[in-house]
Each structure stands twice: as C-alpha cells, then as structure tokens.
Amino acid sequence: MFLKFWEIEVKLLRMSLDQLKKYENELARANKMRIVASEETGEVKEIDASFYYSKDPSYVKWYTDCLDYVPALQNGLPGLFFALLPYIKYADADDDFGGMYVIIDKCLKMRIATKLNISFSRVEHTIQEMTKSHILKRVCTGRYQVNACILGKGAWLDIKQVKNQFKDASETVSESSIETEAVVND
Amino acid sequence: MIDKEPEYIKLFEPYTLPVEISPVLILCWKFMTYADPNQFAGGQLLLMSDTMKQLIARLAAVTVVDVDQYLIDFAKHDVFRRIDATLYQGNPYLFGKGSADAIAYTRYMYTHTFKEEVT
C-alpha cells in the first residue's frame, strides 16, 4: 500500500525511489505521505499530509440489498431522510433501544423545514409516512430508530441487534428479496 | 452459522447526494467493484455493458433507456464519472466501498487522473 503512494510521490517530485525510501519509517510513523523537496538538491524540506487520510471521514453504512425500501424512500421525501442522517446515534448494545436512533424534536423539525424550504406540517407528515413504511420506528416520544436493513452506524455486532428488531418488517419484503437474488444468480 | 455483515457502501459526510436515491443507483453501488490500489484508477469501477444494463433494468423495473438516462444524470452530477463508453467510476468523495486506505488511494486517483468531458 505504501509503495503505491511512494510511486506517486516519485512521479510527482521526480525523485528516485532510493532517495525517498530512507524516509519511509519516518513517514509511516507520522502517517503522512506527501514530501516537499528542494528542486535543486533533492533534499526533503517538508512532509505534508494534505491528501492522505489514514482514517475514513465520518460515514454511515448504506446496505446495498435494501432495494425493497427504495420505493418508500422515493415516495416520501428523500431530502428529509438525508437531513436526518447527521443526527443518527451510533449503534450501541448497552443502550435500551440498541442505539441508531434520532431524536426528532420540534427544534429539529423546524431546522429541517427551513433547510429544505418546506412547511413544518410536511416534515411531520413525512416522518409519519416513513414510520408507516418501516424506514423509521418510533421507540418513544420524539425518538425514532432507523431501519438497520437500510443504514448502519457503528460496529456490525451492535447493528445486528437493531436489525433483529426490524425483523417483522423484513419478513414482509423477503419474498421480493429472494426473487432479486434469483435474477442476480441467473 | 456466522451472521456476516451484508455488503454496504460508506456514505461520507455531509451525507447528501446530488441525485435522488433510486433503485438504479442502489444497483450501481451493488455491482461496483471495491476500492483497490491494484485496480485501474484505484477501483470503485462499474462496467456498464449491455448485459449489465439489461440486468439493472430488469431488477429496477425500468427500461434500458431509463438506465442510460440515469447514467447520464450520474455523470452530470459527478456521482459516477465516465472513464470510457462502458466504464464508470464512483465518486470516492461521496461514497466508498472498501478499506479506508484503499479509498484514500481511489480519492487521489479520482482527482489526479483524466476525466472525460460530459456533453
């Protein structure tokens, strides 16, 4: 993996690999890859990590076998679903509800309505529709859990517990999933 | 039996896409290869042959013409970039498939390698 980055750097800086290899340990320790070298002498002046990231930026897992839920997302308001994503908590086995919930209070609804330029009642209505179509699940007042068949946030062992809670919803769409798998296998 | 995690893509911050979510997009993610430094342009490639278009059209319950239109839309909004007539690459700044290191490499290749103009 490192060699690939080395090769790019060599191409960029027109330096030989031997010249750069003596800095390999230093770079690996610092987890930084870009080298700024003097054009005249080839001496390394600075090590810059402007394009290399050792960690992913924050992300949610979007499961690719969630095809059965896509029509429900399309019929609702997809922008609203995306607007909720930054507020989803991580899956947590120690949590009473298993985590992966979002607290939708009046403040958040108003913020989303302003952001998407829609009415407050439309936001409320769409959340109700999402709950009906098993994209969200109301666990208590103002707290909605996201369907772990579509999305995941955190470790798989924790997400799996949340997914089991949506088992009933999954069973209703399992027939079409089997059909989809059969077509892929063909 | 070990319950294995299903295949997924990483949807990065700020968790938005410039196109609407659709069955065609989900299937493109499904058939896209993993980010891999040993693959051409760092991976996350989608080989969109006629057979693949027909398969996606069948699974998404749309026509092949619709799939073509979706692909034009994806390329226009930089969700997938068009490398060749049948080869597309997923934008690793929006979503990734694979390890963090591999995606970092794909991001570098996505920025620094050629990009065909969409007309």
Nearest residue, CB atoms, A59 vs list B12, B30, B108:
B12
- Cβ–Cβ contact A180 with B under 8 A: yes
B115: its two tokens:
């990009």
Q: According to the model, what pLDDT value does residue B107 have?
A: 86
**Residue A164 confidence class, pLDDT cut points 50, 70, 90:** confident
The CA-atom distances, in angstroms, between A114 and each of A85, A107, A118, A142, A146 are: 16, 11, 7, 19, 22
pLDDT in tens, A85-121: 999 999 988 887 888 999 999 999 999 999 889 999 9
DSSP state of A91: B
Q: Is residue B100 part of a domain?
A: yes
Rounded average pLDDT over A43-62:
63
Please determine, for residue B105, whether its predicted confidence score (pLDDT) is greater than 80.
yes
**How far apart are the C-alpha atoms of B15 and A178, rounded to whole Å?**
29
Please determine, for residue A35, whether its predicted confidence score (pLDDT) is greater than 70.
no
Please determine, for residue A32, whether its predicted confidence score (pLDDT) is greater than 50.
no
Q: According to the model, what pLDDT value does residue A171 have?
A: 57
Q: According to the model, what pLDDT value does residue B114 have?
A: 61
Q: Tokens 């068009």 map to which residue?
A: B82
A70–B12: do the CB atoms touch at under 8 Å?
no
Q: According to the model, what pLDDT value does residue A27 have?
A: 53
Domain range spanning residue B83? 10-112
Q: According to the model, what pLDDT value does residue B33 have?
A: 95
| CATH 1.10.10 residue ranges for chain A | 61-185
Choice between A34 and A97, residue whose per-residue pLDDT is larger: A97
Nearest-CA distance B6 → chain A (Å): 7
pLDDT in tens, A117-151: 999 999 999 999 989 888 898 888 889 999 998 99
A14: its two tokens:
């027109």
For every residue of A116-181, DSSP letters joined together read HT--HHHHHHHHHHHHHTTSEEEEETTEEEEPTTTEE-S-HHHHHHHHHHTHHHHHHHHHHHHHHH
Q: Which CATH number characterizes residue B28's domain?
A: 1.10.10
Percent of all residues in chain A with a pLDDT value above 90, rounded to a whole number: 24
Window from A51-60, A71-80, A91-100, B64-73 with minimum mean pLDDT: A51-60
**Residue A178 confidence class, pLDDT cut points 50, 70, 90:** very low
Window from A115-124, A170-179, B4-13 with minimum mean pLDDT: A170-179
The CA-atom distances, in angstroms, between A80 and each of A26, A77, A143, B20 are: 46, 5, 16, 12
Nearest-CA distance A64 → chain B (Å): 5
Nearest residue, CB atoms, B104 vs list A53, A67, A81:
A53
Choice between A16 and A145, residue whose per-residue pLDDT is larger: A145
Number of domains in chain B: 1
Q: Are strands A136-140 and A34-37 parallel, antiparallel or unpaired?
A: unpaired
Q: For A61-185, which CATH class?
A: mainly alpha
Rounded average pLDDT over A13-39:
54
B105: its two tokens:
């490499």
Please determine, for residue A165, whether its predicted confidence score (pLDDT) is greater than 80.
no
Q: Tell me the sheet residues that pair with A152.
A: A61
Chain B contact set for A160 (CB, 8 A): 3, 5
Q: According to the model, what pLDDT value does residue A56 have?
A: 65
Nearest residue, CB atoms, A70 vs list B21, B55, B100:
B21
Q: According to the model, what pLDDT value does residue A134 have?
A: 86
> pTM value?
0.75
Percent of all residues in chain A with a pLDDT value above 70, rounded to a whole number: 59
Do A134 and A51 meet the contact criterion of CB atoms below 8 Å apart? no
**Residue A88: Cβ within 10 Å count:** 21
Q: According to the model, what pLDDT value does residue A94 have?
A: 83
Nearest residue, CB atoms, B8 vs list A56, A64, A85:
A64
Q: Please give the residue of chain A at the shortest CA–CA distance from B98.
A: A56
Phi, psi values for residue B11, rounded to 5°:
-95, 110
For every residue of B24-63, DSSP letters joined together read HHHHHHHHSPPB-TTSGGGB-EEE--HHHHHHHHHHHTS-
**How far apart are the C-alpha atoms of A40 and A46, rounded to whole Å?**
15
Q: According to the model, what pLDDT value does residue A16 have?
A: 54
For chain A, give the mean pLDDT. 74
Please determine, for residue A1, whether its predicted confidence score (pLDDT) is greater than 80.
no
A51–B107: do the CB atoms touch at under 8 Å?
yes
Chain B contact set for A62 (CB, 8 A): 8-11, 29, 95
**Residue A11 confidence class, pLDDT cut points 50, 70, 90:** very low
Q: Is residue B86 part of a domain?
A: yes
